[in-house]
Amino acid sequence: MSNSIRAAMAPMGPVHVRLTSFVRGDAKGPGIGIMNAPTAAEARAELHRVARVAGADKVVSVAADYRRAALAGGTTSTQWRIDVQAWGTAMAPVKVEPSEQPEEQRAQDADKTKDQAKDQDAARKAQDARGDAQDTAEQAKSREVAAVEQAAAPRVEAAPQPAAPASAPSVETASVTTTQSAPAPSAPPAAQR
C-alpha cells in the first residue's frame, strides 16, 4: 500500500510522437554530429510536452524507437531517412468529487434551513407589527385632526348673526342661515334692512 501526498493518477490515454528527418551521409550511415537529425531523447522530451499540452501531469510507460533507412545512394554520398518515435500513456490527477454527506450532516443542514426560515418569518411578522402600530398611530392623529376640525366648524356656524332692528323683524333674516360671510343672494342688501 502506497502512502503518497499526491492525488491518485488516472490514465488519460495514449500519447504518440513521431519525428522524421532526411540527412546525407556516406555508405556507413549518417555523418557524425548532424544537427538536424532527431534523437530518441528529443522524441521523449517532445512526448512529455505534447502530454502537458493535453492536460497530463506526466507520461508513464515511455518507449522510443530509432530507425534509419537509406533512400538514395550515389558515388560519394547517400541520403538517409531517420524516423524516431516515442509513445507512452498520459496520466492526470484524479478529480475527486465530493461524496454524499452522511445522514447526520444532512439532518443538521435541514434543521439549519428550517431555523433560518422560522427566523425570517418571525422577522417579517415583527416588521408587519411595527408597520401596523405606525399605521394606527397615524390613523389616531388623523382622527384627532378631523375631530378638531369638526369641533371648530360648528363654532363658526354658531357665530351670532347681526342683530336686526327691533322695530321691523324680517322674515327672510330668520329663515336664512348661511355659513358664508357674504350675505345670500336672496337676502336684501344691508342698506334696505
Which tens digits make up the pLDDT trace of 136-174? 777 777 777 777 777 666 554 555 555 555 555 444 444
As a residue count, the chain comes to 193
- Kindly report which listed range (62-76, 105-119, 168-182) carries the lowest average pLDDT score: 168-182
Q: What is the CA radius of gyration of the chain?
A: 54
Tell me: the pLDDT tens digits for 104-140? 777 888 888 888 888 888 888 888 877 776 767 777 7
Query: What is the predicted pLDDT for the residue at 37?
Result: 84
What pLDDT shows up at residue 171? 45
Percent of the chain with pLDDT over 90: 20
Q: What span, in angstroms and rounded, lies between the C-alpha atoms of 49 and 86? A: 12
pLDDT on residue 138: 75
| Closest CA relative to residue 56, chosen from 88, 86, 93 | 93
Residue 162 has what pLDDT?
57
First to last CA, the chain: 127
pLDDT at 44: 94
Residue 62 has pLDDT above 60, yes or no: yes
Angle, vertex CA 137, rays to CA 136 and CA 142, nearest 5: 95
Quick: pLDDT tens for 81-90: 889 999 999 9
pLDDT (0 to 100) of residue 85: 95
d(CA 12, CA 92): 6
Q: How many other C-beta atoms are found inside a 10 Å radius of the C-beta of residue 62?
A: 16
Rounded-to-5 percentages of helix, strand, coil across the chain? 40, 25, 35
Band the pLDDT of 18: cuts 50, 70, 90. Answer: very high
The single-letter code of the amino acid at 108 is: Q
* Host H or E run for residue 127: helix 103-157
